[in-house]
Amino acid sequence: MLRIKRVPTVVSNYQKEEEDEAVRHVSGCGKNCLKSCCIQDAKLPLYAFKTVGKKDLSLPECKEQTVAFLDSLILGEWEDRVQRGLFRYDVTACETKVIPGEYGFIAQLNEGRHLKKRPTEFRVDKVLQPFDESKFNFTKVGQEEILLQFEASNDDGEVQFFPNAPIDVENSPSFVAINVSPIEYGHVLLIPRIFECLPQRIDHTNFLLALHMAAEAGNPYFRLGYNSLGAFATINHLHFQAYYLAVPFPIEMAPIKKIAKLNGGVKISKLLNYPVRGLVFEGGNTLEELSNTVSDACICLQNNNIPYNVLISDCGRQIFLLPQCYAEKQALGEVSTELLDTQVNPAVWEISGHMVLKRKKDFDEASEANAWRLLAEVSLSEERFQEVNDLIFQAITSGKLDLISQCPEENDAVTSNPRSSMMAGSKECLVLQ
């Protein structure tokens, strides 16, 4: 069993759609929501993160021993919501185990998420869809679910914290909220510029915000994930997910082969010997350089209607980009009944190796072979993956092909150093993590 801090959870029906009229507040709509009817004079904690110059290496070393202020703030506020009973079920009661085998896939039995999670309300065959006010969105949640505001500091780049700051609706702040259907301890949502009601799609500004959150948390066990529409996002309102898991994700330990290095210092690799094909982005002279490169790749996938998932790891130093086709295969009837019966929707966490299982039978019978079989159905074929890679490289090197160096195809050298830095043009392009 995993050794991870767990706290008792008070299970509540706070999140049910139909509220008892008798318990509603007198003011506003009675739900204490984030809309104009209830938001007047509301206040929330505000964490303003430090900004750095574009020439500075902006990612601090990610250390388990240190506890960053944002890290402790998120956990403190999250545990407060536990005690107030704002979750749909008790995630701390979910059984979790590491599956024996080479990869260390993690299995969790989470029957509550299956029974009480909000259903998808939009088409799954289009990655880009307009925001629909009539569907569920995060402006409809209760203010109690919001942990804090997360913004860049205006004070010469220094970190600032205001425990009771007004909400500047006109400037559309970014919020960190609880995920009321959590997968793990500390499961939260980052909702950029919430009042702009942005659809679920990545752009440069908001992806950089997510990297800042990873860097500011400063905890190697805290990862952020993103699911596009068509890749098992369930709400078409821009958001990233994040939670704590005190073991490596299998995808973080998979071998990678470096295939390119950009002039700005960003290294691009491809996953090897892993059931889902994907790209890995690391390095960069600045946080913004890394963010822009990955954003360009994501925007390319969106514009070509290719569903994808993103995992932000190592305090923002390492980013996995994973195009997928499971929903498409489902629609075409190409997924076996055996896999469909598990009712597992392989989104970013499952693809990364944290298998959230809905049935006791699947949990009891969990094996590396079963995990691999499911994830292999998620992956693009080798031929299709190469086509998608070509599209991505055209997007990220548009007009500046001279700024990229390709690694040779030979994988002559293998190293066990997880952070080996290979210079472009070297034959040492296989990095074992």
Residue numbers annotated as active site: 239
* Structure token pair of residue 238: 């821009």
CA distance 53 to 49: 13
Q: Are 63 and 314 in contact (CB under 8 A)?
A: no
Per-residue CA distances from 158 to 49, 73, 166, 287 (Å)? 7, 17, 20, 17
| Phi and psi angles of residue 373, each rounded to the nearest 5 degrees, phi first | -60, -45
Task: Return the H-helix or E-strand segment holding 106.
Answer: strand 106-109
Tokens 């210079």 belong to 423
Cα end-to-end distance, the chain, whole Å: 23
Q: Are 79 and 71 in contact (CB under 8 A)?
A: no
CA distance 356 to 107: 6
Q: Are 319 and 281 in contact (CB under 8 A)?
A: yes
100, amino acid identity? P
* Structure token pair of residue 412: 């002559």
The three-state secondary structure class of 430 is strand
Give the gyration radius of the chain's Cα atoms. Answer: 21
Torsion angle in degrees (nearest 10) through CA of 26, 30, 32, 35: -110
